[in-house]
A and B are shown apart, each in its own frame.
Chain A
Amino acid sequence: MALGVAFAIPWLLLVLVPYISLAKLEPVAYAEDELPDGGMTQYPDKNLLRHGASDYGRDIYASEGCAYCHTQMVRPTYAGPDMWRPGWGGREDDGFARETRPQDYVTEKYAPLGYQRIGPDLANVGNRITDRALMHEHLYNPKGIDRNSGMPAYKHLYKDSPFGKGYEPTEKAEALVDYLLSLKKDQPLPAVVATGG
């Protein structure tokens, strides 16, 4: 019936075909002369999960609904000023700042691109906040870092310390922080990828 066709064509062309072609993306090896430091040989790197982040941290990120306030996608300059914002596009100083690409998400099952940007983009937060304690502080008491912070505190991921002052992260908080610290979507691109070849 025509109703079915009306539905099937866009579904096939717009959703299914790109889905399959993106699912089949193979890692791209760096050319001889462009090998970056750190022993990476291909993009995306085999060891994308730096800091030993686990699926657990990602699940916490999803179940606490962080993605409803935080995006994880850096748009190219023609589509918005994301990359000019200090730290969003990765390590500017090293010339690595760039927009995000499909290969950057290969460690995820579902790319948390996000719903709104009430808070800053987190695609490269692992580069901006490198200190573990600071990341915990951001989750436990964001107002302590920025008085105006619109970020809700996630106190339930922490226990009060038995020694009176301070707090102790639970397993969940540790996993979440592992995940956040691992968020770096700035691996240098091999020339073939960067030019879209």
Chain B
Amino acid sequence: MTVPKPTVEEMQERAAIDRSARYPVLFFFTSAAAWLFVATILGFFSSLKLCVPSLFDSCPFLGYGRLFPMHMIALVYGWAMQAGIGVMLWLMARLTKNELRYGTTMIVMGHLWNFIISLAVLSVWAGYGRSIPLLDFPVWVWPMMALTYALIVVWLIPMFRSRRNSYVYVSEMYLVGAAVWFPWIFVAANLLINKGASPVMGAGTDAWYISNLIYFWMGPIALAVAYYIIPKITARPIYSYPLAQAGFWILAVLAGWTGFSRYMGGPLPAWIPAVSGAASIFILLAVVATVANFLPSLKGQTKLWEYSPSLRFTVMGMLMFVVYAVLAALSSTFTFGKDLQFSHFQIGLDTLAFYGFFSMTVFGAIYFIVPRITNAEWPSGSRIRTHFWFSTYGIITMVVCMLVGGIAQGGDMAQWDRDFSTSFVNSSAYMVGRCIAWGLISFSNFAFLYQLGLMFVGKGRKTDGPTLIHSEPGAAADARAAAGLS
């Protein structure tokens, strides 16, 4: 079975939608990529601080306790949020066949968002951080963030309402979910934490927030992308719509229960982390449903994997999603979790979510979207290759080092009669790995930012053949198929 070819009118309509999305979406992507670059540099320096703790130790602005939260804020709100918003806008417009309206408002709000995130990062830098992971910024920052986000994303709802297809695409469900869930968890978490009436539940709520951000926002966006890109590029419809819906609802019902297992054994009623742990395990059902849906589409498509940057990034991102969900489930059980809790394993896991599965998938989307909205092709296939391999190796190095290092560190910590210092002396080699990993990732994203910058200023290639990872003369037909153009 193949997807019917679009007619000329449809093509023109798509082009009009792409034009309408051009400036807002490109704006969000480009500023996201700039933040990503900043975040990776901060990631590198904060890791360096763990290798050489005494480095710059008389400078207040270069301590791990400040650089690391800055890195997280830049990575999540600077990069992930903006890239995610860009993807949401374009994908929603494309799927519902609506032109994107209020582009100017969005760009204004986008500038505002960048300004607020800069404030957030700088205030942590200047020593107003609060050591609340991912919500470190001073209290007055979050209402502005919530408002700006809402003013960008509300426009998705009327678009969704006026969709012009008879049934709801799976991707649309995920997009609407992500759009409405995030403000909710963000506001709920901030209100409770800042109220400060229950200090330990405050900390618990933060853990819940991080996990919900991953499963309620990053997950849905990444899945929306995958459910769009994979069928599109392989030109095969998704295997089973009911299965996809089941996956969606499993995620929707369970995601809100996760997170507290980060503090299992902590000063919270013991049932709370236990429930969270169970939810993390049952979420694997949603993952199985997703994988079962994608595998038939991907079977025998190694050639497309060779050529298409979008497919390659997206599939790699989905692979990491699976790994993330499995590891998160494992570490939320007492059996594995008690030694891994608070070890490098945790940070490996968080990074796997933020960079591994979310970012890789979204890169796939960006490689797909930007040529369409700018009407030009990526300048260089080999730079895409650099981006892919350095990112992939970088994130794999990072995650493997952190996971193995975490297990080693956790094992050392479990030996309670040995000196505590063994745990960080023995895991120091893995810290070097973490540094190298961020170095690789930084480098890869420099390549990405550079390309995107060229596209932004209109220096893309103006030919009709798409840029592929490998270009072979005479393979144009394959190439067009790989880019989803045929």
Question: A residues bordering B, Cβ < 8 Å?
Answer: 2-4, 6-7, 9-11, 14-16, 18-20, 22-23, 25, 61-69, 71, 73, 75-76, 78-82, 84-85, 99-102, 104-106, 108-120, 142-143, 146, 148-156
Q: Residue of B at shortest CB range from A106?
A: B199
Q: Which residue of chain A is the closest to B58 with respect to CB atoms? A: A155
B213 on the A face (CB < 8 A): no
CB contact under 8 A between A23 and B198, given known A73-B267, A110-B130, A152-B64: yes
If the complex has contacts A64-B127, A79-B334, are A152 and B256 also in contact, measured as CB distance less than 8 A? no
Q: Is B476 an interface residue (CB 8 A)?
A: no
In chain B, residues 51-83, which have Cβ atoms closer than 8 Å to a Cβ of chain A? Answer: 53-54, 57-60, 63-66, 68-69
Instruction: Give A143 to B249 CA distance when docked, in angstroms.
Output: 53
* Chain A: minimal CB distance from B150 (Å): 15
- Docked-complex contact A3 and B252, CB < 8 angstroms: yes
Q: A6-B253, A73-B265, A73-B266 are in contact. List 14 more A-B contacts (CB 8 A).
A: A6-B256, A10-B256, A19-B201, A63-B129, A65-B129, A67-B131, A75-B338, A79-B265, A80-B339, A102-B198, A113-B200, A113-B203, A115-B133, A153-B57
Query: Could you tell me the distance between the alpha carbons of A15 and B260 in the complex, rounded to whole angstroms?
Result: 10
Residues of B within 8 A of A11 (CB): 184-185, 188, 256
Contact A118 B50 (CB under 8 A): yes
Residue pair B65, A64 in contact (C-beta under 8 Å): yes
Q: Nearest chain A CB to B208's CB is how many angstroms away?
A: 6
Contact (Cβ within 8 A) B201 A150? no
Report whether A23 and B265 are in contact in the complex, using a CB–CB cutoff of 8 Å. no
Contact A3 B180, beta carbon cutoff 8 Å: yes
User: With an 8 A cutoff between CB atoms, is B421 at the interface?
Assistant: yes
**B428 interfacial by beta-carbon distance below 8 Å:** yes
If A14-B256, A18-B201, A110-B130 touch, whether A148 touches B63 (CB-CB below 8 Å) is no
User: Which of the residues B130, B269, B334 comes within 8 Å of A78, measured between beta carbons?
Assistant: B334
Q: Cβ of A143 and Cβ of B54 under 8 Å apart?
A: yes
Main secondary structure of the interface of B (DSSP, over half): helix
Q: With A3-B177, A7-B184, A61-B131 given, is the CB distance from A155 to B57 under 8 Å?
A: yes
Contact of B216 among A7, A18, A146 (CB under 8 A): A7
Would you call B232 an interface residue if the criterion is a C-beta within 8 Å of the partner chain's C-beta atoms? Answer: no
Cβ contacts under 8 Å, B180 to chain A: 3-4
Contacts of A23 in B (CB 8 A): 197-198, 201
- Contact partners of B424 in chain A: CB under 8 A: 118-119, 148, 150
Taken together as a complex, chains A and B put the C-alpha atoms of A155 and B55 apart, in Å, by 11
Beta-carbon contact of B181 and A7 below 8 Å: yes
Q: Is B403 an interface residue (CB 8 A)?
A: no
Asked whether A111 lies within 8 Å of B202 as measured between CB atoms, the reply is: yes
Q: Of B9-17, B106-114, B341-349, which binds chain A?
A: B341-349
Could you tell me if A120 and B420 are in contact, using CB atoms closer than 8 angstroms? yes
Residues 294-343 of B contacting A (Cβ, < 8 Å)? 334, 338-339, 341-343
- Cα–Cα distance between A78 and B208 once the two chains are bound (Å): 22
Over the window 196-221 of chain B, the binary record of Cβ atoms lying under 8 Å from chain A Cβ atoms (1 yes, 0 no) is: 11111111110010000000100000
Bitwise, B406-443 to A at CB < 8 A (1) or not (0) is 00000001111100110111001000000000000000
Q: Are A102 and B425 in contact (CB under 8 A)?
A: no
* B196 and chain A: residue at smallest CB distance: A109
